[in-house]
Structure 1
Amino acid sequence: MALTEQRKASWKLIGPGIVVAATGVGTGDLVATLMAGERFGYTLLWATIIGCLVKISLAEATGRWHLATGRTIFDGWTDIGRWTHVYFAPYIVIWGFVYGATAMSATALPLNALFPVLPVWGWAMIVGVAGLLFVWFNNYAVFEKVMTVLVGLMFVTVVGLAIVVTPNLGEVLTGLVPTLPEGSTFYTLSLLGGVGGTITMAAYGYWVNAKGWRDATWMRVMRWDNRVAYVMTGLFVIATLIVGAELLYSSNIALNEGDRGLLDLSVVLEDRFGRTVSVVFLVGFFAAAFTSVLGVWHGVSLLFADFVGHLRGKVNRPVEERERSWEFRAYLLWLTFPPMLLLLLGKPFQLVIVYGVLGSFFMPFLALTLLWLLNSSRTPREWRNGWVSNVGLVIAGLLFIVLCANELWSTVQGG
Structure 2
Amino acid sequence: MNYEVLETAPDTTAYPKADGKGGYKLTDLPKVPKVSHIVGPSAIMLGAALGSGETMFWPAIIAQDGWALYWAFWVGVLTQFFINTELQRWAMATGESIFRGFDRLHGLWPWFFLFAGFVQLGWPGWAASGGKVFAAWTGLIPLTDWWMVGLATMVVIWLSYQAGPVVYNIIEKAQLVMMVLAIVGAVVLVFLVGSIGELANLPAGAVSFGTLPADVEIATFLGGLAYAGAGGYTNLSQGVWAREKGFGMGIYQGRVKNPLRGDSEPETVHDGYSFEPTETNLKRWKAWWKVTQQEHFLTFVVGLLVIATGAMTITAQYVPSGQTVTGNAVSMWLNIVIPQLGSANAFLMYMVLFIALFSTQYAIVEAFTRNTVDIIYQVYGREHGMNVSRVFLGALTVFVLWGMAIIGANAVTNITTPWIFLVLGAAMAGVMMWPYNALTIILNTTRLPEHTQPGWVRVIAMWWATGFFGYFSILLIGDLLSSSFGLSVFSTTVDIVSSGVGGYVLWLIALAVQVYTMYRSGQAKLETNDTVENAEEAAGFLA
Quick check: 1:143 aligned with 2:168? no
Change (3 A) 1:246 1:343: same
Is the CA contact 1:111–1:286 (under 8 Å) kept in the aligned structure 2?
Answer: yes
Which of the residues 70, 73, 78 maps onto 1:53?
A: 78
The code of the aligned residue for 1:67 comes to M
| 2:93 corresponds to | 68
Give CA deviations for 1:308-365 in whole Å, capped at 9, x if unaligned.
11343417x99x9547744443444454333235444349xxx999978865532112
Matched, 1:388 2:418: no
1:193 pairs, out of 226, 232, 238, with: 226
Which residue number corresponds to residue 104 of structure 1? 127
467, 470, 494: which one aligns with 1:401: 470
Q: Are positions 1:161 and 2:189 aligned together?
A: yes
The separation in 1 between residues aligned to 2:203 and 2:113, in whole angstroms, is 42
Over 3 Å counting, the alpha-carbon distance change for 1:403 and 1:19 in structure 2 is same
Which of 30, 33, 50 is 2:55 aligned to?
30
Deviation at 1:3, TM superposition (A): 5.6
Q: CA contact under 8 A between 1:7 and 1:220: conserved in structure 2?
A: no
Q: Count residues with an aligned counterpart.
A: 406
Aligned to 2:35: 10
2:357 counterpart letter in structure 1: A
Conservation of the 8 A alpha-carbon contact between 2:182 and 2:352: yes
Distance in 2, matches of 1:96 and 1:43, equals 30
Helix, strand or coil at the partner of 1:90 = helix
Could you tell me which of 375, 390, 402 is aligned with 2:445? 375
Return the alpha-carbon distance in structure 1 between the equivalents of residues 423 and 180 of structure 2: 35
Give 1:71 shift.
1.0
What's the CA shift for 1:74? 1.1
Kindly state the Cα deviation for residue 194 of structure 1 after the two structures are TM-superposed. 2.3
Q: Tell me how far apart the structure 1 counterparts of residues 480 and 435 of structure 2 sit (CA, whole Å).
A: 19
Change in 2 beyond 3 A, CA 1:92/1:174? closer
Percent identity of equivalent pairs: 16
Structure 2 match to 1:82: 107
Question: Structure 1 residues 353 and 257 mapped into 2: Cα distance closer, same or farther (>3 Å)?
Answer: closer
Structure-2 separation of matches of 1:356 and 1:158: 23
Q: Which residue matches 2:203?
A: 173
Q: Hey, what does 2:305 align to over in structure 1? A: 234
* Preserved contact between residue 84 and residue 238 of structure 2 (Cα < 8 Å): yes
- Residue 95 of structure 2 aligns with an amino acid whose one-letter code is G
Asked if structure 2 preserves the Cα contact closer than 8 Å seen for 1:23 and 1:295, the reply is yes
1:114 equivalent in alignment to 2:145: no
**Matching of residues 317-332 of structure 1 within 5 Å:** 321-322=388-389, 325-332=392-399
Return the index of the structure with the highest Cα Rg: 2
* Partner SS state of residue 26, structure 1: helix
Contiguous gaps of at least 5 residues in structure 1: none
| Residue 53 of structure 1, CA deviation | 0.7
Is 1:127 aligned with 2:153? yes
Unaligned stretches of 5+ residues in structure 2: 1-25, 250-284, 486-543
TM-score scaled by length of structure 2: 0.67
The alignment status of 1:336 with 2:403, answered yes or no, reads yes
Match of 2:315 in 1: 244
Q: 2:344 matched to which residue of 1?
A: 276
Q: Is the 8 A contact 1:60 1:223 kept in 2?
A: yes
Partner of 1:286: 354
Letter in 2 for 1:301: T
Paired residue type of 1:176: A
Is the alpha carbon distance of 1:354 and 1:155 closer, same or farther for their aligned partners in structure 2, counting shifts above 3 Å? closer
2:290 aligns with 220
Deviation at 1:25, TM superposition (A): 3.6
Cα offsets for 1:83-112 (capped at 9, x unmatched) = 214523433444443x23x12201111111
Task: Tell whether 2:208 aligns with 1:208.
Answer: no
Residue 409 of structure 1 deviates from its aligned partner by: 3.4
Contact 2:128 2:150 in 1 (8 A): yes
Do the aligned partners of residues 304 and 262 (structure 1) sit closer, same or farther apart at CA in structure 2, a change above 3 Å counting? same
Structure with the larger helix share:
1
Distance 1:41 1:355, change over 3 A: closer
Q: Distance in 2 between matches of 1:4 and 1:93?
A: 35
CA distance in 2, matches of 1:314, 1:93: 23
What is the Cα-based RMSD across aligned positions, in Å? 3.3
Contact 1:18 1:148 in 2 (8 A): yes
Q: Please, what TM-score do these two structures have when normalized by structure 1? A: 0.86
2 CA distance for matches of 1:278 and 1:231? Answer: 25
